[in-house]
Amino acid sequence: MLSPSSYKVLEGRFARLTVLRDAAAVLQWDMATMMPEGGSEARGEQLATLKVMSHEILTDPALADDLGRAESETGLDAWQQANLREMRRAWLHAASVPGDLVEALSKAVSRCEVQWRRARAENDFAGLRPALEEVLNLVRQQATIKAERLGLSIYDALLDEYEPGLRTPAIDRIFDDYAAFLPGFLKKVVERQAKNPPLAPLTGPFPAADQHKLALRLMTALGFDFDHGRLDTSHHPFCGGVPDDVRITTRWNESDVTQGMMGVVHETGHALYERGLPRRGHYQPVGQARGMAIHESQSLLVEMQVCRSPEFIRFLAPLLGETFGASPAWEGEDLTRRLSRVKPGLIRVDADEVTYPAHVILRYRLERALIGGSLVLSDLPGAWNDGMRSLLGIVPPDDSDGCLQDIHWPGGAWGYFPCYTLGAMMAAQLYAAAARAIPDLPKLIERGDFAPLFAWLRRHVHEKGSALSAEQIIAEATGRPLDPEIFKNHLARRYLGEVLAA
């Protein structure tokens, strides 16, 4: 009997690795939605054990040997070669990090996430700070090790985990350009919208149970498969689980139905991407999401490009009336204006698409400073408030609506935030390309027929998995590299009814 090739051996190793990570993902979803607080210590041990086991697979010397032999094999097709490239990338990120550091960071993150929920509810940054300091120090240690191995800066080593190949100079160019564009553009939009008549009031309360029913209808219309996923409630909206069992969450505001609803459609975009990933590579690196910028492009395409469009709102208005009763807030142009209202606000996940990038730019600048050591954690609340004042002209009244609002840093996700705004720019470019390919797309959306759009996205984005880079996916799907001007022109058309000068 012939021995399996080194490549086939690697496929088996990475399949086991994927299963372990999938198990951890479901446990993390449970921790955020169902787990009683008293279970946090045991859950921390479970997650740490799974992460150490995953790390041991990647750092096994035999895996490195198999990589070397597989890379000299002939007869591998393009898909297998891409998979081998992604295997080596995963190995490079893991090989130099000691297992005890992986375990320590996993446990610290589990503790910090639980404390964050309490700290945000109680506006207690000082109470969270020791746990967050531990997470930051361990993230910095891990990033320092990876940076040396990868030949990158410490922050770029973190970026590379979430968006392969992304580097700070590229982010700085895009973000500095948008930060310069925003004040003048925002002023024009706010002045224009101020001339509109007042919006009809939202006459709540809107019971969470009714909002949940409406959310299920919207998810079904968009194409969410409830045989392979579910919707729950959490402190912070997210999409988790695995491609065959996608778990999304939102939070409800009984005085404003739009907040939870937009959280749901955003996370549904993530879920549809996960469900659309190629079955051939389901348990292999090449079959997994390319990176978080592409991931965010799919959620923001659904939330911002589709679900805040006038066409979608005409589809949505009758559903709101059926769920909550007739209201002037659902009639005429009121709902369109409500969902396209631009106003600087404190909370990132509730921000309009004009000001949303400012929230991301702030977090990017702060986390770079914290990782680099030019900002200490005790000064974060003040630095946050200064940044909000500079970028959006508002200051949070407390830390709950300031530096405590996101779970990302307590959850160990340092280097993630830039993906949101890059994703928004990718979303605008992808939607424009889809609209060219599907000339009647606005009419289809108004009828609630989203199948042609998602068929296009599956073919051009989802089914690529990680076989291509994010840059290649965007260029092949749209005919050009990522161009931030497309995003700015989308904003100008939607909010000012004009096209920006070239």
Give the residue numbers marked as catalytic. Answer: 267
Please count the other Cβ atoms lying within 10 Å of the Cβ belonging to residue 160.
22
- Of the candidates 455, 431, 467, 211, which has an alpha carbon nearest to the alpha carbon of residue 306? 431
The two structure tokens encoding residue 158? 């973190």
Please count the other Cβ atoms lying within 10 Å of the Cβ belonging to residue 437.
14
- Those residues whose C-beta lies under 8 Å from the C-beta of residue 497, and which sit 6 or more positions away, are none
- Contact criterion met (CB below 8 Å) for 418 and 295: no
The two structure tokens encoding residue 196? 């509109």
Please count the other Cβ atoms lying within 10 Å of the Cβ belonging to residue 382.
12
- The DSSP code sequence of 8-59 is HHHHHHHHHHHHHHHHHHHHHHHHHHT--GGGHHHHHHHHHHHHHHHHHHHH
- Contact criterion met (CB below 8 Å) for 93 and 367: no
Distance CA 123, CA 5 (A): 57
- Contact criterion met (CB below 8 Å) for 240 and 28: yes
- The DSSP code sequence of 224-253 is --GGGEEEEE-SS-EEEEETTEEEEEE---
Rg (CA), the chain: 23
- Of the candidates 208, 206, 216, which has an alpha carbon nearest to the alpha carbon of residue 251? 208
Phi-psi region of 480 (alpha: psi -120 to 50; beta: other; left: phi over 0): beta
- The DSSP code sequence of 91-147 is HHHHHTS-HHHHHHHHHHHHHHHHHHHHHHHHT-HHHHHHHHHHHHHHHHHHHHHHH
Distance CA 291, CA 293 (A): 6
